[in-house]
Structure 1
Amino acid sequence: MSKHSFPVLKNDCLLRAARGLRTERVPVWIMRQAGRYLPEFRKVREEHSFFEICRTPALACEITLQPIRRYALDAAIIFSDILVIPQALGMQVEMKPSIGPHFPEPLSEPKDVEKLKKGCIDEELSYVYEAITLTRHELDGLVPLIGFTGAPWTLMCYMIEGGSSKTLSKAKSWLYKWPEESHNLLHLLKDAVISHLVNQIKAGAQLVQIFESNAEYLTPDLLKKFSLPYLKEIQRSVSSTITNLGLEMVPMILYAKGSAMVLDFIADMGYDVLGVDWTVAPSVARSKFSEGICLQGNLDPPALKADHETIKRLVIDMLQGFGTQSYIANLGHGIYPDIPPDNVAFFVNTIHEESEKMIKAL
């Protein structure tokens, strides 16, 4: 907990699951739950640009609360973006309709890294922390609030590729051509990520998630060299910094996309919760970890376009595979913009209803 005075939390089911404590039902939230699939979000976007919303605490708070008003979700996640860190480092980032993020001047060679600003996170991203504190108050203890960041390797990819990529050829080329310089950039990003997470926790975030969304592009050897050491250091440093500040450490979630490959590598990273995407069966994921490790995931996002009977069957399969304890239900990645909102309600309610039945039957 931060040193702010916040309303008492009324629903701590997700926090208990994250800490490996007993829950009466499986908690659920959805990656990108505050976003384009909601008509109320699209209405706000008609008047405000994406990053304008991110940089305006009142707007970010409003967008964060929209899905909480609609659904019986067990957590809110602050409306922001992983690319606020490259922006804070001095890079220009645009969000283009139907395209996504765009960097007009990406990093093309190591000397470009010298142009990045250092030690600027506290001031440059103060709007995120203001939004978190405001949202904690506006939630009035209804559910916990999640903060988040991108992992160093994932951020590095965007900064070099200049946007999304199906191959990450440019970013991966750096690892082979300029390994030392790549580590220098990753160290810079690691420090920025640590500061960003610590500041979010101080501002009131009750959990934090790290998105290593581009883990799946790395070979096992590259993963061990250019991703895992930084993820481990982030967990260790954030934990020790928060403890030294006299604050209670919050659960940390690691989501590394490409679970079928990376799950074997991240068991000992120190994170409280491991996110699982749809590339691994729930029962296989659970077999790799004891119930002391909380798992999160992993419905394939397009499955929410199915009929209710199919969604219910998939939910039951997930619950049977992961188990009903030390488990947080979610999608295997962010929700798509064309998902019917009513199906989201059915998914959330079915998670609660079916998991309560299973737990009572034990």
Structure 2
Amino acid sequence: MNELSQLRQGAFAPGNSAEIADSIATGSGIRIDVDRRRGRGAGLNMSGRFEPVTRETFDDGWQTIKDLPPFITEVQIEKPRSVITRNESPDIPFDRSVNPYRGCEHGCIYCFARPTHSYMGLSAGVDFESRLFAKPDAPRLLERELARPDYKLRPIAIGTNTDPYQPIEKEWRIMRQILEVLQAANHPVMIVTKSAMVTRDIDLLAPMAEKGLARVGISVTTLDRKLARTMEPRASTPAKRLEAMRAVSEAGIPTAVLVAPVIPALNDHEIERVLDASKAAGAAEASYVLLRLPLEVSPLFRDWLLRNYPDRYRHVMSLIRSMRGGKDYDAEFGKRMKGAGPYAWQIGRRFELAAKRLGLNLTRRQLRNDLFVPPLGMGMQLSLL
């Protein structure tokens, strides 16, 4: 029996020896044929956790699985009643966000937003990357919500759940329209992306930044193009992200690098190199987030790890669990982003020392809240003054 077969049967897995076989091979769904999911991050497409029945694709002898068509990107229109999502999480620096899309074509295997597709009756696996939802009414709804008399101004974060600059944005341009609404209202905005497409909107972001109303964070997980292609199959290459960082910074837009997620024994050795490259590209601030594996993300990530780095599986998962109280994930506020224990402390200390050496995070520019001009939204009563 070779090492990969042993790993898939759980022989070398930390904890329960049957864990891999139970949660990946049978419990989480059959692996999708590589030709059908080419260009996708996930190798599984298990049923959503809220579904009353579980379905699996198998070869019944009538027609081979290889004859099934490949997964293509499908986009449906979603019509929400509101577009601003609020949260009260004490460990994130914003209390509201806007998501132009549901699901993300980038296909990052580690994406903590994958479980949200279960609310749509879809899989957190390949469905999350290929069956997407666009919200073309988002700009209009945002304008209406900003125009409400009881609206209380706070910076809006975009890109915190799914990437606003994923490939379908080229056609739908919803993010562009949202920025136009925010610019007209002088509303502060924080953007996070791993796409070079953000440079398309420099003409909007630069004037906003000049007023202290915009900043951009670009996620750089690794400088290894091969690892990035495997882990984030449809996101911009690391080199393109650094180029975008330079362009955004040179346009006068406050720019940050997010080393996220940090995955022990896979990309954590690159922390200093990523910060060095980002500083050279113009980043003034930096932060990091430890890998998070909530709900369906855990079996998806473990399956990906077995397929691509079987020799590292045991070591990676052992280190992750050492930082998560012996579990794949600990959702406790204050720990979910950074982890706990000696290895987590070491990662944090390395990051702090590298950032200090490079002069990152010396100042954190706060966005202005005093320039806001409420839009005259549709259906809103005009002022008599």
TM-score (norm 2): 0.39
- Indicate the structure (1 or 2) with the bigger Cα radius of gyration: 2
Question: Whose helix proportion is higher, 1 or 2?
Answer: 1
Structure with the larger RCO, 1 or 2 (CA within 8 Å, 6+ apart)? 1
